[in-house]
Structure 1
Amino acid sequence: MKKVLAGLTLLFNVNAMSASWQITFPQPLETTSTIDEYPIQVLALALDQTGVKYQLKPSENLLSKAKALGRLQDNREINIVWGMTNTQREKDLLPIRIPIFKGLIGWRLLLIRQDMAERFKYIQELEHLVKLSPLQGRDWPDTKILQSNGFDVITERSQSALMRMLRNAQGDFFPRSIIEVWEELAKSKPQPAIQIQPTLGIRYPAAIYFFVNKNSVPLASLIEKGLEKAIKNGKFDALFIEHYKSYIDKAQIENRTFYTLKNTFLPEKTPLERKELWFDGSISAAALP
């Protein structure tokens, strides 16, 4: 039996190396942020580590996150998606359990209107913040996380609609991750002014994974193998730092109070014990390229 398994493994490796992998990812509805450029580079890095031939291309149709997840589950049009994990997504799809943003997606700064700045100065504990109403996407996993921590969340379908609601005082603040907030703020309309609240933030454990169809085990194994190799040789961290060190520096994490929220929707198999996979609030000198 062991010889048979070894033979099958060898056959898979040979076939994987000789095949040309066609990988189609969803083309997002909104292009207000370059956040989707980084996962494509991570995916290319992982595949490069394996030595296979591959082609990455966007879907022909523009897809919302919800529609992309549905298409992937049905094995139509696309064969990979990246998104925040939760228990249901891991039931519907096959996750590659390496957080490609090192959990930085769960470090949130607060977009507020300028006329709310004075009120935020009086927030001294989480209970004070919970009395205010955050804005979040209707089908975003973050929405349930905030609700389960006691927030009365106001939702809309798209990021642009949520920014408009914030400007129109239809919510009190819009939590955005460190990797998103700077570009979104730069592209927001100046009147009434929106700013990043300078002293506070929220954080919760959150992982964005690559997901593939349940039947795409060979593709998942290939990507996981490449990611693990890139983590081991330092290329994964180098790419992360290249993209996000400047954002982390701008956030001035050391000068903020971050209120920690519980994420009860995090699946049991989330690799929280692997400290090398998670951003811990600082970038060590040893990790710098």
Structure 2
Amino acid sequence: MLGKLNRKLLFLALLLGSASVQAATWNIIYPRPMSELDDRTRYPRQLLDLALQHTGVNYKLVPSDRIMLQSKALAQLESNREVNVVWSMTDNQREEDLLPIRIPIYKGLVGLRLALVKPKNRDLLGQVNSLDALLAFEPISGHDWPDTKILQANGFEVITVSDYDELFEALESEKGKLLPRSVVEIWYEYETHMDSQALAIEPGVALYYPTATYFFVNKKNQVLANLIENGLEKIIANGKFEELFLYEHQVMLENAHLDQRRIFRLSNPILPANTPLARKELWYPLPSVSGQ
């Protein structure tokens, strides 16, 4: 947890540029992943590291002492305990409880969803040509996730589970036949579970809803928010953001064959009003997206 002394030191460093103050090292603590091999956390950590490198501040990125699921990490961040930065999909409640740095770190791709299915159901959506037809299928999602609210608001009957591992258990037992996952998550999850569970990626359909994954900090930690935002803006301006983004995600996007999919756009009633949709450079351009 960031102490008052460290906050004051960094604040002075930013305002005064004092060499003696800048020598202090600030521990920036993020939620420890499920394992050190969890590829889902690599890109956000690399991006945060890259942004901080462009601030001139001495820092060290440190995982929390214990593994935390996202709901726990967000609660701890709000209480200013254990962690001082979390990356998460935004909604109105999260932006009310926490302080967002409104630069979508995945360029909106968390809202681009492909479906994990059992191999026998790989062609389940082959004849689906409209959103109304797609509504006949019940997707699986976390009970407290923003995604669930979005799916429900668009007319889906959602099968909800209480934690991450139960998503795959629900798919295996066919409580639901579709497990929508973002294009930046699905490949890792497919490979991770292939030894214990037969999965396939449905080839013909995708969902898209406008949303953003941000870095969040505690509402009282405006200094850290400014630091991260300034670093991100610098790497957007010099092209380093785009370079890292494509290095991590270009193959995933190619494997998704988006130009061969029917992409259905959903509305997002919980998208905060301050989402920077007008800044086109912050978003990945998608091929044609079907209407609702």
TM-score (norm 2): 0.89
Superposition pairs for residues 1-289 of structure 1, below 5 Å? 12-14=15-17, 17-29=22-34, 33-189=38-194, 193-281=198-286
RMSD over aligned CA atoms reads: 2.0
Once the two structures are superposed, residues 159-188 of structure 1 have per-residue CA deviations (whole angstroms, 9 ceiling, x without a partner) of 322112112111020001111111211222
Q: Which amino acid aligns with 2:200?
A: Q
Report the Cα offset of residue 9 of structure 1. 9.1
Report the Cα offset of residue 192 of structure 1. 6.8
Report the Cα offset of residue 156 of structure 1. 1.2
User: Does the CA-based 8 Å contact 1:114-1:192 persist in structure 2?
Assistant: no
Q: Which amino acid aligns with 1:108?
A: R
Q: Which amino acid aligns with 1:197?
A: E
- d(CA) in 2 for partners of 1:32 and 1:106? 24
Once the two structures are superposed, residues 105-151 of structure 1 have per-residue CA deviations (whole angstroms, 9 ceiling, x without a partner) of 11111111222234321211111111110001122211111111111
Greater Cα offset, 120-129 or 202-211: 120-129
Runs of 4+ that moved beyond 3 A: 8-11, 15-19, 28-33, 189-193
User: Does the CA-based 8 Å contact 2:28-2:60 persist in structure 1?
Assistant: yes
User: Does the CA-based 8 Å contact 1:33-1:180 persist in structure 2?
Assistant: no
Identical positions, percent: 44
Query: Structure 2: 5+ residue runs without aligned partners?
Result: 1-10, 288-292
- Give the direction of change, closer, same or farther, for the CA distance of 1:185–1:54 in structure 2 (3 Å limit): same
- d(CA) in 2 for partners of 1:56 and 1:191? 33
- Give the direction of change, closer, same or farther, for the CA distance of 1:194–1:221 in structure 2 (3 Å limit): same
- d(CA) in 2 for partners of 1:118 and 1:79? 44
- d(CA) in 1 for partners of 2:180 and 2:14? 48
SS in 1 for 2:80: coil
- Give the direction of change, closer, same or farther, for the CA distance of 1:10–1:68 in structure 2 (3 Å limit): closer
- Give the direction of change, closer, same or farther, for the CA distance of 1:118–1:80 in structure 2 (3 Å limit): closer
Query: Structure 1: 5+ residue runs without aligned partners?
Result: 1-7, 283-289
